[in-house]
A = this chain, B = another copy of it.
Amino acid sequence: MKESTYSKTSKTLFSRILRKKTEARAASEKLHLEPGALVYTGDDTSLEVALEVIQYNEEEIKEYTLEPESLDEIAPHQGVLWLNVVGLHDAELIQKIGDRFSLHNLALEDIMNIHHRPSFDQYDDNLLISVKMLQVSNKLLDTEQLSFVVGPNYIVTFQEKPGDVFEGVRNRLRKKRGRIRTKKSDYLVFELLDVIVDKYLAVLTSYDDEINDQELKLVDATDKEILAEINASKKEINYMRKHAYPLREAIHAFSRSQHITIEKKTRPFLKDLLDHITHVTEIIELNRETINDNLNTYHSQMSSKLNDILKVLTIFSVVFIPLTFMAGIYGMNFEYMPELHNKYSYPIFWGVLILMAGGMLFYFRRKKWL
């Protein structure tokens, strides 16, 4: 029976965050390797690596998949080139892409290490922004690492698994909606980052409602299930917080960067992006506060209930203990107890008992225990 209790509670408590190899463990696999060594630290090594290319300028847009061997055929051109690499386990290919776009070896290492913390690095020719995207798959919170290499007229994105949140951006590119086709690579990376921050907001929304519900539930219920629910929400919010702050740090560094690939016209958009992620962290903090308030309310209700219990116990005991004592007295077998033989003793006895009980109840009422 204990087994099942365990499973049930642990399900509530732990099941909603995807448990991967812990970060520390994964990171430790890279020990004893040369810094800059290209090692993929994730689990998805089976799928084929795909290279998706979009080339566009204000007039036209081309979209095609590239074979790894024809990587060098990408011609320099007018406009922006967006190379999206899906799958990170092929170190040789990553190295080849790195050579083609003159990436620093440390940049390549960070791209392949999916446990690398969100960061912004500036190299001579290009920028590297490495972030975590939040995902909910099968009701489990999860993250996927996304890396952006931004050069003057190209951008290379690296992602671990197929399927992403960039479809909206691609559609805007295809349909020439908005200002995106008239802008450079720095604007494209802004739009992609904006989508990632939006995703944080979307996930946050679902927890936001849940946490507000818990607050309402607390008014009434004090059972342990609500405590487990609050603790689960706390874990999830902390998980998001752990990823949102380094993301903000990276975006902050990006928006302050004086690198030549960032045009002056893009700066207001980057400030807007920074506001956006700041808003996300503020909602996270608000939720944390609400959760803590909920926990305090829970404990305050528990202790108020304890008080109630003790009050009832005390009143019962205190009222009946002297009565029982009196009954005990007249149950004694002494030969010479004059009260026992009086005809009115019994009703008098009851009278006294009732007076005693009444007196004590009156005392408790004055003490406001009733």
Which A residues are closer than 8 A to B by beta carbons? 2, 5-6, 9-10, 13-14, 22-25, 27-28, 30-32, 34-37, 104-106, 109-110, 116-117, 119, 121, 123, 168, 172, 177-180, 190-191, 194-195, 198-199, 201-202, 204-205, 208-209, 212, 216, 219-220, 222-224, 227, 231, 234, 238, 242, 268-269, 271-273, 275, 278-279, 282-283, 286, 289, 293, 297, 299-300, 302-314, 316-318, 320-325, 327-337, 339-341, 343-346, 349, 367-369
**Contact status B345-A27, CB under 8 Å:** no
**Contact status A36-B178, CB under 8 Å:** yes
| Contacts A297-B231, A302-B307 given; does A27 touch B201 at CB 8 Å | yes
| Contacts A35-B190, A321-B320 given; does A220 touch B2 at CB 8 Å | yes
Question: A238 to chain B: which residues have CB within 8 Å?
Answer: 289
Question: A299 to chain B: which residues have CB within 8 Å?
Answer: 300, 303
Question: A345 to chain B: which residues have CB within 8 Å?
Answer: 334-336
Task: Tell me how many chains of this kind the complex includes.
Answer: 5
**Contact status A31-B201, CB under 8 Å:** yes
CB-nearest residue of chain B to A350? B329
Which residue among A13, A231, A306, A329 has the maximum number of chain B CB atoms within 10 Å of its CB?
Answer: A329
**Contact status B324-A330, CB under 8 Å:** no
- Of the residues B209, B223, B302, B316, contact of A317 by C-beta under 8 Å: B316
Question: A190 to chain B: which residues have CB within 8 Å?
Answer: 35
Question: A27 to chain B: which residues have CB within 8 Å?
Answer: 201, 205, 279
Report Cα–Cα, A276/B155, bound state, in Å: 26
Which residue among A208, A269, A316 has the maximum number of chain B CB atoms within 10 Å of its CB?
Answer: A316
- Of the residues B32, B180, B304, contact of A302 by C-beta under 8 Å: B304
- Of the residues B22, B318, B330, contact of A334 by C-beta under 8 Å: B330
**Shortest distance from the beta carbon of A37 to any chain B beta carbon, whole Å:** 8
- Of the residues B216, B278, B334, contact of A117 by C-beta under 8 Å: B278
Report Cα–Cα, A117/B276, bound state, in Å: 9
Question: A311 to chain B: which residues have CB within 8 Å?
Answer: 309
**Contact status A191-B35, CB under 8 Å:** yes
**Contact status B121-A209, CB under 8 Å:** no
Report Cα–Cα, A317/B324, bound state, in Å: 12
Report Cα–Cα, A14/B30, bound state, in Å: 31
CB-nearest residue of chain B to A273? B35
Report Cα–Cα, A318/B312, bound state, in Å: 8
Report Cα–Cα, A271/B253, bound state, in Å: 14
CB-nearest residue of chain B to A268? B106
**Contact status A313-B312, CB under 8 Å:** no
**Shortest distance from the beta carbon of A32 to any chain B beta carbon, whole Å:** 5
Instruction: Supply 13 A–B pairs (Cβ within 8 Å), ascending by A.
Output: A31-B202, A36-B269, A106-B269, A116-B275, A116-B279, A121-B268, A231-B297, A242-B286, A302-B304, A313-B313, A324-B325, A324-B328, A332-B349
CB-nearest residue of chain B to A19? B212
Which residue among A231, A272, A310, A334 has the maximum number of chain B CB atoms within 10 Å of its CB?
Answer: A334
Question: A328 to chain B: which residues have CB within 8 Å?
Answer: 324, 327-328, 331
